[in-house]
Chain A
Amino acid sequence: MRQGEPTLAKQAGRTGRKFSALSLIRKGMRGGDWPRVWRHHDLAPTYDVVIVGGGLHGLATAHYLAQNHGITNVAVIEKSYIGSGGSGRNTAIIRSNYLTPEGVAFYNRSVHLFERLSQDLNFNVMFEQRGHMTLAHSDASLRTMRWRAEVNKLQGIDSEVITPEEIQKLVPLMDVSGQARYPILGALWHPPGGIARHDAVVWTYARSADAQGVHLHMNTEVTGIDVKGDKVVGVRTSRGDVSAPIVINCTAGWSSIISDMVGVKMPIHTRPLQAAVTEPVKSFLDPVIVSGSLHVYVSQTARGELVFGAATDPFASYSTRGSLEFIESLAGHVLQLMPSLAKLRLLRQWAGLCDMTPDFSPIIGPTPVDGFYVDVGWGTYGFKAGPVAGEQTAEAVATGRIPKLIEAFQLDRFEKGTLTGEKGAAAVGH
């Protein structure tokens, strides 16, 4: 199958799983169980490609391997349920206003893929381009934003610095009086940014990979990876052994553990990132608001809940427990931005694991072990990258060459000293 052909929708139509308003009404009238969105399979003894991790990245990689390269004898092996990792816990922010030209080009491709995703894969992912606003509270951060805006504009990306008056028009509840402890001096404004429904993005790739013949194995843990010489030959799982010449590590927060299985040491440490959500209220906040100085960001979901996030926890851990410390400082910072939210109640808080790299850029491509690929180092920003990372990882695996878009994200950059420093645009987790 070649890129762009509408064969997937046709395929889904044949299996009776094409979604349309008509099919929804018909099904709604008839009642009964909805069909399973993806199937269960026995573990085959051999696959062409085994993908470890059934999050957005593993599933998108499987989808693009099948759709763009016709490689369908693929297994995605997930120790828990699909989307149980960061992919089901993130705050769903999508944007491309990064700081390095390599980062900007890469994330911009993902924004374009997101714009077509619902149509291409016949599944509503609720991508809403409401605009993304990063507040500046100091001259220094205003300067970084001007820099970012220029880097962005050079690549044709809609990104500009706006004044407090313009901020007020976009977000009437914002305190731009200049009286706050951290006064608002301006903002980086990025209209194509926004949010999507994170679970839907995961499910659409799962559904489409399944429809093209990929096996999704849930509740199956990879416990070891077999290497002969310096070549990967297969994986061991809690449901039996599988042989495969290519294994792709898409396990984000757990990726060091998987790479350790083949003796590839990663420049990664794992940190929890927490988020929280309020009770739903009437829609009043359109854009996504971020404040680096206050370590906080907020958006309002279609349901009306406010979703908050912040920086990662202050120490490395594989624990996904939330903390009171986090929620206290978060609430304080949110109220500095929008004091009128003081009576709002929090519904819940949670944490997910983030695989942090030293330069805040991902690692995508081959490793010193032949056949062992990684798509990791997603830190706090990998949701927006799911589509492009899947597309590029699939291309690297299928062609054996490193596509231009991910040249700057190779593992050997740490050896060569050619880091892709993205901290200025990615330090507050989203």
Chain B
Amino acid sequence: MLLIECPHCGPRNSSEFSYSGPIKPRPSIEGLAPEDRAEWRRYLYEEDNHAGFATERWFHVSGCRKFLNIERHSVTNEITSVLTVGEVS
């Protein structure tokens, strides 16, 4: 269990949140030829599964119901930043 410092609700158990993994940039479909599937395949399936810090998307499902960008270390689970999506400074 992690303790996540929600910018809206304060410190909360990670069981209140749902997790959807490291944020990946979504490739543009503008002018994409059908044979250019490689980029989409990478987007859909490949995972950046490195050992270290990554910025992830979490959703405070049993709280403020806001989407959050959380920077977390995948080995130590240390959380260094929690920002609301769209309100990022």
Contact = CB atoms under 8 A, between A and B. Distances in A.
**How big is the A interface, by class?**
20 to 34
Given A314-B19, A415-B38, A319 B77 contact: yes
Q: Which 9 A-B pairs have the closest CB atoms?
A: A256-B49, A267-B45, A315-B19, A269-B47, A414-B45, A265-B46, A318-B75, A325-B1, A269-B49
Interface string A288-329: 000000000000000000000000001111110101110000
A269 B21 CA distance: 9
Contacts of A316: 19, 21, 49, 74
Interface of B: 1-2, 13-15, 18-19, 21, 37-38, 41-42, 44-47, 49-51, 56, 74-77
A314 B49 contact: no
User: A-side binding surface: helix, strand, loop or mixed?
Assistant: loop
B14 A257 contact: no
A318 B77 CA distance: 9
A415 B51 CA distance: 25
Question: Which of B1, B21, B41, B49 has the most CB atoms of chain A within a 10 A radius of its CB?
Answer: B49
Nearest to A325: B1
Nearest to B41: A415
9 contacts: A269-B21, A270-B49, A315-B56, A316-B49, A317-B74, A318-B74, A319-B76, A414-B41, A415-B37
A358 B14 CA distance: 23
Chain B interface, >50% SS class: mixed
Candidate in B1, B19, B37 with the most chain A CB atoms within 10 angstroms: B1
Nearest to A326: B1
B74 to A, nearest CB: 5
A346 interface: no
A415 B15 CA distance: 34
A230 interface: no
Pick the most buried of B21, B74, B76: most chain A CB atoms within 10 A of its CB: B74
Contacts of B51: 257, 318
A266 interface: yes
Contact of B75 (A314, A319, A323): A319
Contacts of A315: 2, 14, 19, 56
Contacts of B38: 415
Most chain B beta carbons < 10 A, residue from A260, A315, A316: A315
A256 B74 contact: no
Contacts of A319: 74-77
A266 B49 contact: yes
